[in-house]
Structure 1
């Protein structure tokens, strides 16, 4: 498996427990989205099952094929299970958790260990699925380890949190994000990598969502508008044309997510009235970006208006 990057202390804590045979029956792997929690969970499951069976290569091959009998991964399913590419359901349903019961009522097949991964436990249908999981955590079957991935642990039932050992994952450094991107998008230009690192905010997963969308070009336009104010509207019209077509939808959505963050970054360099104005522009940009997709606002018009909010920064340069 590809080596993991970042959060060395959390990974070391788990490795120490595994090495000393002191594994808790449930681990809450908590932190921001896109920092490698799910990849760590699958890597940890692979190592635990390989250690228990003494057959590392076979274990890895079976997990890669999705056929290991002692591993279950619960995620949100497609709304239409006959169409795997359809949108995902809003939650992990209670029936998915209940479907674990026949498995947990039997002994593991290949060793004395079984692993259940839930990605993400925040997505459990409440209260039914959460309560069904809680029952298993309260009465854990022998040899079963639960790995619960969570982006917002504060939203979980306190009784679930109290039965888990916490592994805290933090945002990655820029250098760590750059290392991940170098492996995942090796053909990206240095300018694009730099733009992706800025957009990541410590989350390689977020950066990878923007890969291939020419984020560096958008960043250059935003920087120019923030610097000069775009008095002729030329750059904003360019953005509106570039992002207003149906084919540009993925890039437009990246733009919606990026503009408020860009304004916030600029605001971090300001003080006094300039900071107040920048924060007002940030609030307006965040609100407009949030409603644009939900209300099907015209993409070109929205891009132009967001550019106007960025232009407010020029007065304070």
Structure 2
């Protein structure tokens, strides 16, 4: 019997709850630590920032800390100066296995029949908090609920969570992870203390790649770091899912613009649209979308190319179509990607349509979605 997928796990990479360290977000960590040790811990925290910058990892570090120490006096007495817990600590192991009785994780559940993740966090998930917070907490006295991600709650789920935030149980801690906080109810945002996690520095990304993907050549590591744009999760997924080779293949396919080689386009589409290759498909579509976004930034003088080949291609594209046209292409491919995630569409056709839009724009033709 195959295991059900997990919404917060990328491929074979460790899940955030299994990750002990967090690089490059010291300011956000210190803000939470100061609040806790000062006895001013807010009952709800909203962690925002781009995908892959460490929001979920920080959420579990926060949860483990309060579940371990229970109160500021105990934390100070035990010399806790950071949110670190040793990997062999019982609290760390329980949280990593989602077996801690005082921790609840709300995320998109998997469908038992289809073995696929649902597209939203339904209200039934949030309603589980009623029983969870109604029980007596363990020795530490805290109960912690992590919502990953809050953006994925449907309307009923969001309203159910809001009721908890409006009347929080004693010694409860809500940690909401959000990639797009503007999509949340204003009333939810207003009841949370917000921590914004910034994109990681190139040095931090390089350190993570050296630790978790030591087999990468220096050139490939530089490509993964540049494509990640400050996202540790993105850098690691690119390295793990063959994203570097896929990126090179994509540039080769785009090289003949304004007229693409149909055989090469179909070869790329076949590579990323294979049955069961979900990660490859998402990676291929993201690489295409992000290439157009970089093209727009390069044309506006606000970006850098990943490789010289990309810079030369961008210069040619600037001569073939104005900035407004490429912004339109970026928007339409983004909409195409969103529909592909929500519907059971023909994956190869999605990729072919994206290349068709790029070719049309480079030839000065009408871009059709």
Q: Which residue does 1:179 correspond to in 2?
A: 207
Secondary structure of the 2:322 match is helix
Q: 1 CA distance for matches of 2:184 and 2:333?
A: 30
Secondary structure of the 2:139 match is coil
Conserved? CA contact 2:147–2:175, under 8 Å: yes
Kindly indicate whether residue 88 of structure 2 is the aligned counterpart of residue 70 of structure 1. no
* Correspondence 1:251-266 to 2 at 5 A: 251-266=280-295
Kindly indicate whether residue 155 of structure 2 is the aligned counterpart of residue 137 of structure 1. no
Q: Which residue does 1:94 correspond to in 2?
A: 123
Q: 1:211-242 CA deviation, whole Å, 9 max, x = no partner? A: 3444334444555677x6468966x7445324
Q: Which residue does 2:267 correspond to in 1?
A: 241
Alignment coverage as a number of residue pairs: 307
Secondary structure of the 1:172 match is coil
Alignment CA distance shift 1:307-1:98 (3 Å): closer
TM-score, normalisation: structure 1: 0.81
Q: Which residue does 2:329 correspond to in 1?
A: 284
Report the Cα offset of residue 22 of structure 1: 1.7
* Correspondence 1:197-212 to 2 at 5 A: 197-212=225-240
Q: 2 CA distance for matches of 1:311 and 1:11?
A: 46
Kindly indicate whether residue 41 of structure 2 is the aligned counterpart of residue 23 of structure 1. yes
Choose from 56, 75, 78 the match for 1:38. 56
Kindly indicate whether residue 118 of structure 2 is the aligned counterpart of residue 118 of structure 1. no
Q: 1:238-257 CA deviation, whole Å, 9 max, x = no partner? A: 45324425549544542322
Q: 1 CA distance for matches of 2:358 and 2:295?
A: 14
Q: Which runs of 5+ in 1 are unaligned?
A: 313-317
Q: Which residue does 1:12 correspond to in 2?
A: 30
Q: 1:24-65 CA deviation, whole Å, 9 max, x = no partner? A: 111111122221111110111001111118696221222223
Alignment CA distance shift 1:67-1:307 (3 Å): same
Alignment CA distance shift 1:306-1:259 (3 Å): farther
Alignment CA distance shift 1:212-1:70 (3 Å): closer
Conserved? CA contact 2:292–2:329, under 8 Å: no
Q: Which residue does 2:244 correspond to in 1?
A: 216
Alignment CA distance shift 1:311-1:251 (3 Å): farther
TM-score, normalisation: structure 2: 0.71
Q: 2 CA distance for matches of 1:183 and 1:310?
A: 41
Report which stretch shifted further, 155-164 or 36-45.
Answer: 155-164
Structure possessing the higher relative contact order (Cα contacts under 8 Å, 6 or more residues apart) = 1
Query: Cα RMSD between the aligned structures?
Result: 3.3
